[in-house]
Amino acid sequence: MKHGTGFTLIEMAIVLIIITILVGGLATPLAAQIQARRIAETKKILEEARDALYGYAMSHPTGTGSLYLPCPDTDGDGRENRVSATQCTAYRGTYPWADLGTAAQDAWGNRLRYAVVSNFINSSTGFTATTPSPGNFDPLQVCTDRTCTPPIIADQVVFVVVSHGPNGWGAQNVNGSTLAPPTALDEADNLDSDRSYVSRPPAKPDNPLGEFDDLLTWASHAQLIARVCPTGCVTP
């Protein structure tokens, strides 16, 4: 009588346990790699968004040769919302990706947030290398926390573009739905209507400083002028 040469139930159970342990050990590094790729992709998207804003200014001169920036998108169609030549519907909203021809969302499928200083969207007077001069407009700031106490990362900021990161708290997704607002105060600061924005290293919910995973790019007055007016803009 021949005996079977297959695995016994105990042997199969041991093999399954070993496979489970191996798969479980691989899952965490794989998830971390995927997240790292998404972060890198979003940083590239933000860089392209910033460069597209520079490009928009350079390709949108006024009748006198000065330049201007687009207004934020406030109705979700990807296009700027402008009340008139001198006013936006709002100066904080989502990034007008359709007008600028860039990615419509970050790597997690959420819209980018965009804020701009009102002096720089005027399509009648625009801005030049000398006007408005620093000190003659109310700038945005990028800080290490919501209190915006020194050291400040960037002052005299003209525009900011924000990805709400992996957790997406407070972001508008591609379906037009707004996700739950953040509970961490520094992330909440990137959603409110004040002029300060926070950029700092990522932190988990149990961090004493609170959860944070937003990604930002911005341009100060000096950076904007150096990029779009390298030889000096035409003065109106």
Question: Which whole number is the average pLDDT over 153-158?
Answer: 97
Q: Which pLDDT value is given to residue 14?
A: 74
157 in helix, strand or coil? strand
Is residue 71 within 8 A of residue 92, CB to CB? The reply is: no
* Model pLDDT for residues 171-214, shown as the tens digit of each residue: 999 998 999 999 999 999 999 999 999 999 999 999 998 999 99
pLDDT at 144 over 90: yes
- How does residue 8 score in pLDDT terms, banded at 50, 70 and 90? confident
Q: Which pLDDT value is given to residue 3?
A: 54
DSSP state of 177: P
pLDDT at 24 over 80: no
* Model pLDDT for residues 29-87, shown as the tens digit of each residue: 778 889 999 999 999 999 999 999 999 999 999 888 899 999 999 999 999 999 999 99
127 in helix, strand or coil? strand
pLDDT at 26 over 80: no
Q: Which pLDDT value is given to residue 219?
A: 98
- How does residue 122 score in pLDDT terms, banded at 50, 70 and 90? very high
Is residue 56 within 8 A of residue 114, CB to CB? The reply is: no
Q: Which pLDDT value is given to residue 33?
A: 87
User: Is residue 42 within a helix (H) or strand (E), and if so which, with residue range?
Assistant: helix 9-59
Q: Which two tokens stand for residue 64?
A: 């006198």
Q: Which pLDDT value is given to residue 29?
A: 76
Over the chain, what is the mean pLDDT? 91
* Model pLDDT for residues 160-173, shown as the tens digit of each residue: 999 999 999 999 99
Q: Which pLDDT value is given to residue 234?
A: 63
178 in helix, strand or coil? strand
Say what percent of the chain tops pLDDT 70.
Answer: 92
The pTM of this model reads: 0.87
Q: Indicate left, alpha or beta for 156 from its phi (over 0: left) and psi (-120 to 50: alpha).
A: left
Would you kindly state where each structural domain of the chain is located, as residue ranges? 9-228
Q: Which pLDDT value is given to residue 236?
A: 45
pLDDT at 1 over 60: no
Q: Indicate left, alpha or beta for 25 from its phi (over 0: left) and psi (-120 to 50: alpha).
A: alpha
